[in-house]
Amino acid sequence: MKNYKIKLTIGEFSKLCCVTVKTLRHYEQLGLLVPNEVNEWTGYRYYSVEQLQKMLSIKELKSLGFSLEEIQTIFDRNDTWPNMEEIQLKIQQCKEELELLKHRQKQLRALKSFQKKKNKMEDYFIEKLPAIVVASHRETIGSYAELGALCVNVIGPEMQRLGCKCPEPGYCYTIDHNKEYRETNIDIEYCEMVTEKGVDSDIIQFKEIPEVPMAVCKKCYGPYELLPQHYTELFAYLEEKGYKITDHPRCSYIDGIWNQEDPQKWLTIIQVPVVGLESL
């Protein structure tokens, strides 16, 4: 007796697999799941029982993060499931995506904390920056993330070798000398206040920094990824109040990774030398 082959219309097939007809037509266009039979007169599409399993495989693989292109590659070699190499690659991708989500969650928590602090305290204040002597190191670094290691591994040991003495409380800041924002090749200068000028070396140069009669300052809590947002708000404040910027902004580091493990507790003060419009 000849086996009877069930023919499922596209509607019936979609209901059994819980997939829309629109999705089935899209898969047909991609060549991923082509109807087993198309009536040449009516154009009706029919699927076989065997294709139910294939459709379930597509849904399962999609839920595991495989793209339609990757699923097609698996089907092209007459498989319904990925090999060990493909599975391991997806595991690695999951790890990377998880780290990205953890980082995003960390940033969102920092932003939440920042917004709470922003509503509770006055961020802006004006102060005079006294004339000081600094030990300076200027270098082009690959990224802002390299600054911490540069301070710990290069600048700090060299200042110690030169016998630099830093007053209490300490004061250090950086100046970004780039004309525009850069993610790499950043021309940055690190300055730390010392009690007196020493003898320059290849790494450290001693400089006298003149007094800044007026600087508008902003307290910035949170990781350094939030600094662009702080700068945006600060410059809008300067424009609103009618201040003219007279020199490079400074980033003064008060609390950071050296004394606070929690990035939400890091405190950086942006100091912008200014004059009021009435002084122009």
DSSP code string of 176-216: E--SS--SSSEEEEEEEEESS-----SS-EEEEEPPEEEEE
* Rounded mean pLDDT for each run of 10 residues along the chain, 280 residues in total: 73 88 92 88 88 89 90 86 88 90 83 60 81 94 79 90 89 85 82 93 94 92 81 87 90 83 86 73
Fold classification of 105-131+210-280 (topology level): Multidrug-efflux Transporter 1 Regulator Bmrr; Chain A (3.20.80)
Quote the pLDDT of residue 279: 47
**What is the token pair recorded at 276?**
């009021």
What is this structure's pTM? Answer: 0.54
Q: How far apart are CA 166 and CA 151, in angstroms?
A: 15
Quote the pLDDT of residue 2: 53
Quote the pLDDT of residue 199: 92
Quote the pLDDT of residue 221: 86
Judge contact between 220 and 228, C-beta under 8 A. no
**What is the token pair recorded at 32?**
């991923």
Domain ranges in the chain?
Answer: 8-85, 105-131+210-280, 133-208
Q: If we measure between CA atoms, which residue out of 217, 120, 121 comes closest to residue 171? A: 217
How far, rounded to the nearest angstrom, does the alpha carbon of residue 84 sit from its chain's CA centroid? 32
Quote the pLDDT of residue 277: 56
Q: Do domains 8-85 and 105-131+210-280 have the same CATH topology?
A: no
Residue 103 CB contacts under 8 Å (≥ 6 apart), including other chains:
none
Quote the pLDDT of residue 159: 94
Fold classification of 8-85 (topology level): Multidrug-efflux Transporter Regulator; Chain: A; Domain 2 (1.10.1660)
Quote the pLDDT of residue 119: 46
Cα-atom radius of gyration of the chain, to the nearest Å? 31
